[in-house]
Amino acid sequence: MPPKILEIAVQKIIALNKQPFTMVCRAYTNSNDTRTDMNRMTSAVALLAFTITSHISLAQDQVEYAFAFHAEWSQATHPTAFPSNPHFSPIIGATHTDALSLWEPGGIATNGIEVMAETGSPSPLSSEVSGHINAGLANQFINLGGVALSPDTRTGTITVDADFPLLSLVTMIAPSPDWFVGIHGVDLRPNGIWARELVFDLDPYDSGTDSGVNYTSGNANVTPHLPIANLSDTFPFTGSGRIGTFTITLVSDASCSHADLAKPFDSLDFFDVSAFISAYNAQDESADFTNDGVFDFFDVSAFINAYSAGCP
């Protein structure tokens, strides 16, 4: 990038932050010697970038989330035909790409979802996920443990990779014929920014593989399987509300904006400007804000716009 364009970008952004570095840049705009002006500006930018190199971190390809399942299901919340020994099977699932769906309302349960919903066993779904991993559609099977007696809370951690940012989780409502709660295809990195915290109200679902109508109904297999269906308005859940919540909270340092390119994250400052300049000069893809493979003023403009918008 020509130094003059770099100067404009830095001046605009620093003006937003009201940083004293503005005066450094202005000093070079008063020269009548264009060549000297360009050389000085180049040197100034290089020096600033060098002095804060330790702060630059252009990507967070892997982050960690804290997970909490707050199981609220109890005699008080769901009194109709409430069973003894209410519990939840191990919370299982995977992180995956958008080319994979482990389950979804209206879909047909796989064998892994069927066995999870009917018996709580994680093994068949684990085998299915292994196949998806081999196919490049998922990168890990998740088992966060269960809830031995509801109501209670189960916590854990989930490591998520940028190439597999979608999360699907399920756990059996036990005892039950084939009922479960879960989330499906949750994008933890929408628009390339890691989500900070997500909370999901959990409705009961019927896997469509058993026709039992009560918690302790005997086995009554359904062939062919019916579509997975929400049971919120069906006996014994009618009018009783959610079963609990899943809360997923980012615990790693991660960018709050496309312009948040350098530590400290969750704030926009001159370190981010320097990181952008360094990436631009190296023609690193993190500076290609227009995603066209060309590094030009449009990338600078897009960076300034993202910076001006700030963190959510």
How confident is the prediction along the chain (312 residues), in pLDDT tens digits per residue?
A: 444 555 565 555 545 544 433 333 343 344 455 445 445 444 444 444 444 444 444 457 899 999 999 999 999 999 999 999 999 999 999 999 999 999 999 999 999 999 999 999 999 999 999 999 999 999 999 999 999 999 999 999 999 999 999 999 999 999 999 999 999 999 999 999 999 999 999 999 999 999 999 999 999 999 999 999 999 999 999 989 999 999 999 999 899 999 999 988 888 988 888 898 889 888 999 899 999 999 988 888 898 889 889 988
Q: Which backbone phi and psi does 235 adopt, to 5 degrees?
A: -55, 135
Helices 123-134, 111-119: crossing angle, 10 deg rounding: 160
Q: How many residues does the chain have?
A: 312
Q: Can you tell me which residue has the tokens 């409705």?
A: 203
- The phi, psi pair for 6, rounded to 5°, reads -60, -40
- C-alpha closest to that of 299 among 285, 308, 85, 253: 285
Tokens representing 14?
């620093």
CA–CA distance, 281 with 264 (Å, rounded to integer): 22
Q: How open is the CA angle 132-107-244, to the nearest 5 degrees?
A: 90
Q: Supply the pLDDT for residue 24.
A: 37
CB 3 within 8 Å of CB 29: no
CB 100 within 8 A of CB 132: yes
295 contacts: CB under 8 Å, gap ≥ 6: 1, 280, 283, 287, 288
| pTM of this structure | 0.81
Q: What angle do CA 64, 89, 132 make, to 5 degrees?
A: 55
CA distances from 108 to 41, 88, 112, 285 (A): 62, 22, 11, 40
First to last CA, the chain: 29
Q: Which amino acid is at 93?
A: G
pLDDT at 9: 57
Taking Cα atoms as reference points, which of 228, 159, 235 lies closest to residue 194?
159
d(CA 262, CA 233): 48
Domains in the chain: ranges and CATH: 3-59+254-309 (no CATH), 62-250 (2.60.40.2130)
User: DSSP states of 161-204 as a string?
Assistant: ETTS-EEEEEEEEESSSSEEEEEEEEESSGGGS--SEEEEEE--
Tokens standing for 33? 């010697």
Tell me how far apart the alpha carbons of residues 36 and 205 are, in angstroms, rounded to a whole number.
70
Helix (H) or strand (E) holding 5: helix 3-17
User: Could you tell me the CA-to-CA distances from 165 to 131, 195, 289 in Å, in that order?
Assistant: 18, 10, 21
In whole angstroms, give the CA distance from residue 266 to residue 57: 13
> Which amino acid, 83?
P
